[in-house]
């Protein structure tokens, strides 16, 4: 298995999955140092047990940087259904068995305008997981949001540098590689501008 790969994942682009992003709660903590009010997120922990993917609320704290983060119960059923459809697609398209891992599935919207950059990520970093997988669901009225994966923390040995388009994913080894994504800025004023991503983190 290579340390990183790109892969098409277009079946993930269902209306159910797309609609999740407009209801996400603000992510005020981890990225608030960077640009307040531009980031929205929900996270679910899953493990494959007894022949099915099970929602594991206790896994959320393993994957989330926000202590005590939990799902809004009103939002839970629709989010779980969307997340299950994503795991179904990943089972089909990935060249490894994702069911061998426990996963944290993040639904993330980063917004911006013509004069406010939306931050997607800190500079080159690892998140402390085994593998990570970034799926693009939507890029609306934006420039930027270039994903970069490097084998060194200064970005001198870049393995991937490109825009992940809607319906595509990249997957990389988070133990040996570093990643980041550049900020986004709106192309046209007075229109919504955002980047919707699903980030799936994996641990043994
Ligand atoms: Fe990250």
Distance 113 CA to ligand 1 centre (A): 23
Length of the chain: 204
State the greatest distance between any 2 C-alpha atoms of the chain, in Å, as a whole number: 50
pLDDT surpassing 70 at residue 34? no
Q: Within 10 Å of residue 185's Cβ, how many Cβ atoms?
A: 18
Cβ 12 vs Cβ 135: under 8 Å:
yes
Q: What strand order describes the sheet that includes 178-181?
A: 158-162, 147-150, 178-181
Distance 180 CA to ligand 1 centre (A): 6
pLDDT surpassing 80 at residue 15? yes
Distance 45 CA to ligand 1 centre (A): 17
Distance from the first to the final alpha carbon of the chain: 16
Which residues make up the environment of ion ligand 1, defined by Cβ < 5 Å? 127
Cβ 86 vs Cβ 135: under 8 Å:
yes
Distance 86 CA to ligand 1 centre (A): 19
pLDDT band for position 32 (cuts 50, 70, 90): very low
Q: How much is the pLDDT for 159?
A: 96
Distance 72 CA to ligand 1 centre (A): 24
The Cα 102–Cα 89 span in angstroms is 16
Domains of the chain plus CATH, in order, are 4-203 (2.60.120.620)
Residue-wise pLDDT for 57-66, tens only, equals 888 888 887 6
Lowest mean pLDDT among 23-37, 135-149, 164-178: 23-37
Mean pLDDT confidence for 131-159: 97
Q: Residue 47 forms beta bridges with which residues? A: 54
pLDDT surpassing 90 at residue 20? yes
Instruction: Say what the pTM is.
Output: 0.94
Q: b/e string for 128-167 if b means 16 or more Cβ within 10 A?
A: ebebbbbbbbbbbbbebbbbbbbbeeebeeebbeebbebe
């Amino acid at each position: 298995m290579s340390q990183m790969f790109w892969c098409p994942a277009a079946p993930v682009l269902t209306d159910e999955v797309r609609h999740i992003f407009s209801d996400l709660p603000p992510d005020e903590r981890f990225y608030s140092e960077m640009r307040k009010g531009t980031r929205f997120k929900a996270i679910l922990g899953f493990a494959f047990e007894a022949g099915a993917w099970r929602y594991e609320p206790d896994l959320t704290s393993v994957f989330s940087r926000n202590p005590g983060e939990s799902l809004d119960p009103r939002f839970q059923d629709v989010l779980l259904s969307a997340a299950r459809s994503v795991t179904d697609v990943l089972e089909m398209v990935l060249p490894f068995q994702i069911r061998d891992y426990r996963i944290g599935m993040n639904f993330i919207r980063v917004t911006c305008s013509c004069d406010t950059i939306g931050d997607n990520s800190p500079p080159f970093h690892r998140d402390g997981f085994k593998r990570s997988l970034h799926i693009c669901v939507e890029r609306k009225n934006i420039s930027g949001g270039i994903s970069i994966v490097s084998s060194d923390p200064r970005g001198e040995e870049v393995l991937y540098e490109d825009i992940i388009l809607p319906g595509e994913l990249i997957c990389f080894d988070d133990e040996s590689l570093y990643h980041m994504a550049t900020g986004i800025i709106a192309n046209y004023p007075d229109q919504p501008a955002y980047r919707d991503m699903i980030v799936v983190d994996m641990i043994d």
